[in-house]
Amino acid sequence: MVGKLKIKNKKGFTLIEVITVLLVVSLGMIGVLSLIVQNIQSQSLNKNTLIAYQLAQEGTELIRQVRDSNWRAQPALPWRTNLAAGSYYMDYTDTVPHEAPSNPFGRLVKDANGMYISNPNAPATSDTFTRTITIEEQAPGILVTTKIFWLDHGRSYVYSLEALLYDWR
């Protein structure tokens, strides 16, 4: 007779095995969920940074438009007309910059067409950007600094863009 092999019948998992499996699975899920939350926050920050860049570029282009309009005026105006040193706010509906009040200043809100317009009296919300355009004398031209301020998940951010404008004509 050949030796008999004893086989133990296991009827299920022990309680310790089940707890161990649940612990491993829950740790994995926590890691995945934290990556998802971080991805959503990064996506929001990237979107707002892109909007801030475009709003800063628009602010600089608006001042450039004022300079170019001075050249095209009949008779031509000095190129620095309406471009004195100071802090201003402006949007695409304006032909000249407006002197910025102390606070709030240059708050941008979306109009019915989805375009950002200046409304210094608008309440601050999570999707509100604020733009200040600062002009400084820097011989032989002017230094235009456009700053965009916004809040994202309770943190404040600033995007700044500088350009030197000259009377190159």
Cβ atoms of 97 and 65 within 8 Å: the answer is: no
Which pLDDT tens digits describe the chain residue by residue (169 residues)? 566 666 666 666 788 888 999 999 999 999 999 999 889 888 989 999 999 999 999 999 999 999 999 989 989 899 999 999 999 999 999 999 998 876 656 788 888 898 999 887 777 665 679 999 999 999 889 999 999 999 888 889 999 999 999 987 7
Q: 100 in a domain, yes or no?
A: yes
DSSP H or E stretch at residue 165: strand 155-165
Q: 30 in a domain, yes or no?
A: yes
Give residue 1's pLDDT: 54
Q: 11 in a domain, yes or no?
A: no
Mean pLDDT for all residues in the chain: 87
Q: 1 in a domain, yes or no?
A: no
Q: 112 in a domain, yes or no?
A: yes
Give the Cα separation of 110 and 59 in Å (integer): 16
Q: 118 in a domain, yes or no?
A: yes
Please, what is the Cα angle at 123 between 118 and 127, to 5 degrees? 75
Q: What is the pLDDT of residues 10-51, one digit of tens each?
A: 666 788 888 999 999 999 999 999 999 889 888 989 999 999
Cβ atoms of 63 and 84 within 8 Å: the answer is: no
Residue 84 lies in domain:
18-165
pTM for this entry: 0.77
Give residue 152's pLDDT: 84
Give the Cα separation of 90 and 124 in Å (integer): 18
Quick one: how many helices (H) and strands (E) in the chain? 1, 7
CA-nearest of 167, 168, 96, 106 to 133 is 106
Query: Can you name the residues that pair with 117 across neighbouring β-strands?
Result: 109
Q: Could you give the 3-state DSSP secondary structure of residue 142?
A: strand
Give residue 136's pLDDT: 96
Total domains present in the chain: 1
Q: 134 in a domain, yes or no?
A: yes
Please, what is the Cα angle at 43 between 39 and 45, to 5 degrees? 115
Q: 3 in a domain, yes or no?
A: no
